[in-house]
Each structure stands twice: as structure tokens, then as C-alpha cells.
Structure 1
Amino acid sequence: AGKAAFLAKKDGTVAADDMWIQVGSTGGDVKLGRFEAADLFPLAQDTLVNHAGNVYGTNTLRGRKDGSQFHAAGTLNLSAGLSLELGVVENKTTAKGVRPVLSYLAGPLTARLGFEAGKYAPVGGASANDVRGVGATVGYDFGGFKLTGNIASGKTDAATRNNQNAFGVTMATGGLVVGLIAAKTEQAVGDLKVQTAYVSYSMPLFDIKGASWTP
């Protein structure tokens, strides 16, 4: 399998979104290119939420950081509904490390557990920081109503010992989504707490099959 998706920006430029190839079978596969691996802190409807501060979601080494980064993910299907994904990223200035994720799917239940370990340099950062973290997400579809819970805990930059924790819950029914997220970062200069509440609603776009817009 393969995919190439491009973004047409308002300033007239074009950028790559996803660009990857995937080779394998029902027992396992390897994915190479620019993409995002399994999400350990998912928001319903893939909603983009800008927080009023840092919220850690065990997704620092998830991928799709820049065009020069090597990213690979190997997935092994252990049994029906159970799989193990091992992601590897490598870039001298942006990010490097490993990220294994165990996923389980059985009827209305979905669950993921994983951790990440490596280094990551924020955009404009002078040097890479150590990253260590663990996260889990569990979702259950009650038939027309889906409830998802997320939890993440990590440590960034061993020199300053920044401990980060985040908790989230999302409720989705029909096109309506309501979510709450609470996060805390322990720093030498003082703790930073961030609380986020978001609502989104997905609606059909001009009756076009498969098309929707979500404010």
C-alpha cells in the first residue's frame, strides 16, 4: 500500500502531509515515510485543539515532524484484535528514538498502551531534550454513544526534570463531541496547569457522499 497527500496553502505553496509506502501481509507489515503512528491520546473526529500551554500525550515521537526525518513502523499481528507496533524515528536535530504501542480491538472495545524513549528538539530549540513517557487510551462504544479515556505521563529534559501528566475524557454521540483534558507540568520555575474543554459537531457538506465539515 502507499499514500501521498499534499496541502495547498493560502500563500500559494504546497507541502506534503502524508507520504508513505507499506509492505507486508496479514501477519505483519513495515511502513516507511512521512506519517503518524498509533495515537496514544486521541481526540474524537481527529479534532485539532490548541491548548493554552503544554499538554503531553505520549505522542512526541509519533512521527511527521519534518521532511528530513527517517520514520519507520513495523506492526506484528499477534492474534485476532491484538497487534504490536514498533516505531523508530531518526533525525540529528529534531527527534530520535523508539515508540512501541500495543493495540487491542474487540467489538465495541478499543485499547492502546505504549511508551516512547529518545530525544526531541522543539521547533527553534537549541538542543534536543531527553524524552521518556508512557500512555494509554481506552474507548468503548455503547451503541450510538462512545466514551474514550486517555492518560499520559512523561519526563522531558533530564537536566531540569520536567514531569508531565495529562488526563482526558471524550464523549461522542452522532456528530457531537464533548471533551475535557487536564494537564500538569512540574517545572523548576513553578508548576504549569492547563485545563481544556472543547466541543465539535460534524455535519454533511452539501450532501456530497463522504464529505463533511466540523466546526
Structure 2
Amino acid sequence: MSKTFKLAAVAALCAAAAVAHADVKFDANFEGDTTNTSAATDSFKSGGRIEVNANAELLKQGDNFVNARASLLLGLNADSTVDDAWIQFGNSSVDLKIGRFEALDLFPVAKDTVLDPATGAGYRANIGRGRFKDGQFHGALGLNAAPGLRFELGVVNYKDGTPPASGAAEQVVRPAVSYTTGDLTLRAGFESFDKGLGAGTQTGYGLSAGYMLAKDAAVNVNYANSSDLDASSVGANLVYGPAGIGYIKDKTGATTVDTVYAAYSFPLLGVKGAFITPAISVSSGDGVADKTALRVRLNYQF
């Protein structure tokens, strides 16, 4: 997308909200990263972005609503891009979301300030999750069937003379369900996808369980598998206050990659909303070079 279009995405939302006398809320945050990676080829990188969000309640009439969101990422040493750009309408029982967004996460990784596997492997049930970059249509129908129980049916479709980037999804159907009772949250979903690489329709599924140990502490366990891709991933993670740690085992064919990652956020100079987060990711795999990544992230919510 061009920069003109990216800026227009936020401007259009603001204009639409103004016309509809909507309630618009703006927020922004700054994120700066310094990353050192030690692998077959060492690297040192510095980057970051400013994220500007506009959330609008375009219509609220009885039980019916129309909401929208636009997020613009302004890269410090990279191109600017749109992160979220969606509209959602419905009521407390059923709703439909269309645009650029992320659907239900079937493999939450929690505090992944840096998570850098030694090589690409595994399957995490996220092929049809969203935030596509190749022009695919993405919609998700949501149904709140009972207190704590929500069904979601995601659909991805790509029709263009030029095929999307290699490996991108052309067609996806992604039903998923989440159930929360007390401190326990269960998630399950299935993906049927065609990547347009001549392999035809392939499938996979994901399962996840999370438990709130306290107000600021939670644990997750995840599993995803695609027999068509001969790939699977299993992981567990824990967040306790400002600290987070996780482990993921990714497997594709005979290649297995084990990755451990951790991070801790410290308040920065006592400034409200400002944090500095050192993080580490250590990964090793069969027949590939080990990889260790260190990152220091500065974050400020304003």
C-alpha cells in the first residue's frame, strides 16, 4: 500500500466518525528496539515504531452497534504501514468484522518481546488468523452462544491476476471457539487453507488452555498440528507481573527446533506508562545453527 493510502485509512475513520457523531478515542505508543542476534551470521539492529490508534463507536442504538478501528505504524527506520483497519457491526449475540485484523489466537505466546527460532518450522494454527499483506479479503462472523462461550468463523479469499507472495493464503476457512469460566479459558480451532502452491486444500488445528493465577499472572499451554504440512508446535508460557517466560517446540518433518524466551519490564525513571524491557531468546535445532537473540525495548504509552 502507498503511504497516501495508509494515511487515508486513519483520516477516513476520523471523518466517518465525525459525520456519525461517534465517540472516537485516540491513543498512541512508542516502541524502540535494539537487538543483537548471534547465529551463523551475527547481526546488530536498531529500530522501532510509533503506533497511532483511532477507535470509534460509529453507532450505538439499543443492542446494535457499529465499531471501527484504524492503527497506523510509523517506522523509525522503515516504511510506515497500516496495522489494523476494520469495521465491526452486530449486537450482543452476533457480529461481523471485516478488514485487516487478527482473529482468535489459538497459540498465544504471551510476553514475546523477542522470540526468534533458529529456523522456520512448526505450525501454530495462525495461517488464517489475519493482518494479511497481500490484499486478501478477511471477514469473521462471531456468535456469543452463552455466557463465556463464543464461536468465530473466519473466511479469507484472494482473487487477483497476480498471485500473493509465496506461502500466503489464498483461501482459508477458520472456525474457532473460546470458552471462559472463572479463571480458565479454553480455545480450539480448525483451519482449511489453500496456499496456491499446487498442494490443494490442507488442514490443521490448534488447542489452547489458559489459567489466571492472579490479577497479573497467567499460564498458557498450546498445541497445534497439521498432518498435511507434516508440522506441529507445542508450547507453554507464564506471565507473572512484569516477568514472562515461555518455551516452544516446533517440528516440521525431521527438523525440530526448541526455543526458550524470557523478558522483564522495568519502570523507566518513574514516568507513568514508560518501561524498559530486556529480553532473550535462545533457540537450537537439528542440523541448523543455534540462535541467541538479545533485545532491549523502550516503550512509552501516551
**Normalization by structure 1: what TM-score?**
0.85
Please tell me whether Structure 1 or Structure 2 has the larger radius of gyration of its CA atoms. Answer: 2
CA contact (8 A) 1:112 1:138 kept: yes
Whole-Å separation in 2 of the counterparts to 1:12 and 1:61: 26
Contact 1:34 1:67 in 2 (8 A): no
CA distance in 2, matches of 1:208, 1:34: 33
Asked if the contact 2:112–2:262 (Cα under 8 Å) also holds between the matched residues in 1, the reply is: no
Match of 2:149 in 1: 82
- What runs of 5+ residues in structure 1 fail to find an aligned partner? 122-126, 157-161
Shift of 1:203: 3.3
Per the alignment, in what secondary structure is the counterpart of residue 44 of structure 1?
A: coil
RMSD: 2.0
Match status 1:29 vs 2:95: yes
Shift in Å, 1:84: 0.1
Which structure's relative contact order is higher, taking Cα pairs within 8 Å and 6+ residues apart?
Answer: 2
- Whichever structure has more helix as a proportion of its residues is 2
Identity, % of aligned pairs? 39
Task: Provide Cα deviations, 1:25-53, integer angstroms capped at 9, x if missing partner.
Answer: 11111000001101111011364522122
CA distance in 2, matches of 1:86, 1:120: 19
Q: 1:88, 1:99 within 8 Å by CA — same for their partners in 2? A: yes
Scaled by the length of structure 2, what TM-score is found? 0.62
CA shift in 2, pair 1:13/1:132, >3 Å: same
Distance, in Å, in 1 between the alignment partners of 2:79 and 2:265 is: 28
Give the equivalent residue in structure 1 for 2:257: 194
Alignment of 1:1-215 (within 5 A): 1-11=67-77, 13-45=79-111, 47-53=113-119, 54-92=121-159, 93=163, 94-95=168-169, 96-120=171-195, 127=197, 129=199, 130-143=201-214, 145-156=217-228, 162-186=229-253, 191-215=254-278
Q: How many residues align?
A: 201
Residue in 2 aligned with 1:124?
Answer: none
Unpaired segments of 5 or more residues in structure 2? 1-66, 279-302
Q: 1:212 to 1:88 in 2, by over 3 A?
A: farther
Aligned-residue offset at 1:21? 0.5
